[in-house]
Amino acid sequence: MIDVDETEPSGGNALLIGDTAIHPASYPKTQKRLEAHGIAVRTVDVSELIKAEGGVTCCSLVFS
Q: What is the pLDDT of residues 23-60, one digit of tens each?
A: 999 999 999 999 999 999 999 998 888 787 777 877 77
Three-state DSSP at 60 gives coil
Of residues 55, 51, 54, 53, the one with CA closest to residue 43: 55
User: What pLDDT score does 43 carry?
Assistant: 95
**In the chain, what are the domain boundaries?**
15-57
Please, which pLDDT band fits residue 7 given cuts at 50, 70 and 90? very high
Three-state DSSP at 33 gives helix
Region 17-28 average pLDDT:
93
